[in-house]
Every structure is written in structure tokens, then in C-alpha cells.
Amino acid sequence: MPARLEISSATFRGNVRAVAERIAPSELMLVMKDDAYGHGLNWAAAQGLAVGVRWFGAYEVPAALRIRAAAPEARIFAWATSSREEVAAAIRADVDLGIGAHDYLRRVVAEARSACRPARIHLKIDTGLHRNGIRPEDWDDVVAEARRAEDAGLVRIAGVWSHLGEASDADDDDARSVFTAAGDALRAAGGTPEHRHLTASAASWARPELRGSLGRIGAFCYGIRSADGPDLDGVAPAAALRADVIDSGADGVRIDIGALDGLPSTLAGAAIGDRSARIVRVDRTWTEVSSSEELRPGDSVTLFGPGGVSATDLAEHIDTVGEEILTRISPLVPRIYT
């Protein structure tokens, strides 16, 4: 069998339930960027719906539209700054838009006017990351403009949100103060947002005081733990990358997955699998593995996932996050759902 990503629906659904219970009464927004962290967007949407997920996070509009096709009733949040055409399509499909810049607010209002249909928006305050987000000094002006558009029936301000740096608890506490002040200013200007959302996986899980009414959670739902983070109660990796031994070499054996299929070539030396194996090197088209046990052609090797190390264990070996290991697995590697 060729290399494949084996994905357990039962494990994923269990994770989603565990996360939802953990963060209640905050509601879960299941984040599905990068094709649901490499697991497959359509599959993840169907599984989420099956366990009662009502909010999905898409990042970009094309993905939001795909989720809409699978989930006609769900709320879907897309926060990438998007083109006029994409904004128009999002308004037609009833997708909630994240607004992190004044210009972008104007674009969305203009598209809502053309569509004769209000856009549902969530205003993003910059709480310190300095990426996308309205700066605190500009907040009141943007809020005033958004409120005028709301009074004119062009937008509905459905939420206020931000993203945490998670560099330290103290930084996140500072971010929370800025976030709270922004929400208060919106309400003082007559806004009535349904939702406040600030936290992703790690802070939603560990810091209840930072949770708003929604938690935007990706990694933990897929069972990807944080770098240097603990294992999580009730949460397990949903995906395993497995490949079969194709032949034996001097250093070890070759398996049929290589850098072109998405394994970073810098992973040499990383421990893998259930047979105390180690990656010797990752070449263009194959991966060489050494093992304390004898591996034979046809034997299957677990690169990561249940039966082996976790994606985050591999990621720590090359100073990145587990999400990146998953999202770098090429779409050419078949996803096998059980």
C-alpha cells in the first residue's frame, strides 16, 4: 500500500466533544483552515455537524463557501482580508466576516450595498500581535463608521474578536484588557455584538478567564497538542501517517514517502513509530529509516500518530508546530477515513 494518512472519525468526534465540554458555556468554533489542518475539509465539516458543531472557522472565503455547501444552517466565520468578488460571494452565502482593517470595512460595506443585503461582521481589535487588527487608537473611528453602516442596514456587527500571542500569561492578560476595553467601547457606541472571541486551542483549554462566548479551536480538535504543551485529557491524534517498507538498504530500510509528498527533509534523526525506528534521511522520493527491530518489505511503519510519536513530537525536532507537519502532507497522499 502506498503512503497514506489514516484518519479516525471516532477519535476526531471524541476530541470535538471533549473540547466543547471543556470550554462550555463558551461555544466551540471548529477551525478548519488549511483543508482542516490537512485532514480534509468536507470530512471535518460532516464530522463536526454530526456532533452538534454550529460554528465553523474557515480563514478564507473559498473554504467558507465549501463549508456552506456542507452545512446550510451553520454559522461560518472567514477572517482573511478578501477581494471584492469574494466578499460579495460571502455575503450571498451568509458567511460572517472578520474585519481587521478600516479599508476592509469600507470594501465590505460597499459590497453589502451592491448586494442589497447586510454583511455580518466581527470587528477585530489588535491586542498586541500587530498583524491584522484595528489599532486601539483607531478603534473608536472604525466603530463609529461600522455603527453608521449598521444603522443604515448595511452591516450587522455580530462580534468583537482578537487573537492572542500566547507568548506568556502576562502578555495574554494585557491583551485581554485591551480586548475588554474595545468591547466596552463598541457597546457604548450602541453596538450589540452577540459574540466576543479571543482564544484558540491552548488558552481556551487552560485559561477559562480569557474565554469569551466563542472559542476558535483548531489544533486540539484534531488532537494536535501544543509545542512543549502537555497531553490533553480526552484528546488524541486523529491522524496517522503510515507507509510500507519498499526495500532494505545498508543503513536501514526505505519507505515510500519523501519530501515531495510533504515530509520536511530536515527530519533526519527524528524518532518515529512503534518499532523504535528513526528517520535516517528524507530524500526527494523516499524516506530511509533505521530500526532496532528488523523491518521487511511490506511491513508498515507509522511516521506519526497512534502507534508512533505525535506530529508535535516530530515538529519539536525541527522547531516548528505539529500543525505544520499535518498541513505539509501533500494532497497526493490519500486520506483514508475510518
Ligand X SMILES: *Cc1c(COP(=O)(O)O)cnc(C)c1O
Residues engaged in binding ligand X (CB under 6 A): 31, 33, 79, 163, 200-201, 216-219
Evaluate whether 203 touches 220 at the Cβ level (below 8 Å).
no
Instruction: Provide the minimum distance between the beta carbon of 143 and ligand X in the complex, in angstroms, as a whole number.
Output: 20
What DSSP designation does 125 have?
Answer: B
CA-nearest of 193, 208, 212, 176 to 99 is 193
State how far Cα 195 lies from the chain centre: 19
Instruction: Provide the minimum distance between the beta carbon of 132 and ligand X in the complex, in angstroms, as a whole number.
Output: 9
**Pure H helices in the chain:** 9-23, 33-37, 41-50, 61-70, 84-92, 102-115, 136-151, 169-188, 201-206, 219-222, 311-317, 322-327
Instruction: Provide the minimum distance between the beta carbon of 68 and ligand X in the complex, in angstroms, as a whole number.
Output: 19
Instruction: Provide the minimum distance between the beta carbon of 234 and ligand X in the complex, in angstroms, as a whole number.
Output: 16
Instruction: Provide the minimum distance between the beta carbon of 173 and ligand X in the complex, in angstroms, as a whole number.
Output: 19
Q: Which residues contact 269 (CB under 8 A, 6 or more apart)?
A: 278, 279, 317
Evaluate whether 287 touches 281 at the Cβ level (below 8 Å).
yes
Nearer to ligand X, 213 or 265 (CB): 213
**Beta-carbon-side half-sphere exposure of residue 86 (alpha carbons within 13 Å):** 17
Nearer to ligand X, 5 or 217 (CB): 217
CA-nearest of 197, 218, 258, 199 to 35 is 218
Nearer to ligand X, 4 or 124 (CB): 124
Instruction: Provide the minimum distance between the beta carbon of 137 and ligand X in the complex, in angstroms, as a whole number.
Output: 22
Nearer to ligand X, 8 or 201 (CB): 201
User: What stretch of H or E contains 239?
Assistant: strand 239-248
Instruction: Provide the minimum distance between the beta carbon of 171 and ligand X in the complex, in angstroms, as a whole number.
Output: 16
Nearer to ligand X, 56 or 286 (CB): 56
Nearer to ligand X, 164 or 259 (CB): 164
State how far Cα 183 lies from the chain centre: 24
Instruction: Give me the residue label for grid cell 507509522.
Output: 302
Shortest-Cβ-distance residue relative to ligand X: 218
Nearer to ligand X, 129 or 318 (CB): 129
Nearer to ligand X, 219 or 241 (CB): 219
Supply angle C-alpha 267, 324, 233, rounded to 5: 105
Alpha-carbon distance 146 to 152, whole Å?
A: 10
C-alpha dihedral sign at 13, 14, 19, 24: positive
Instruction: Provide the minimum distance between the beta carbon of 269 and ligand X in the complex, in angstroms, as a whole number.
Output: 27
Instruction: Provide the minimum distance between the beta carbon of 219 and ligand X in the complex, in angstroms, as a whole number.
Output: 3
Nearer to ligand X, 265 or 327 (CB): 327
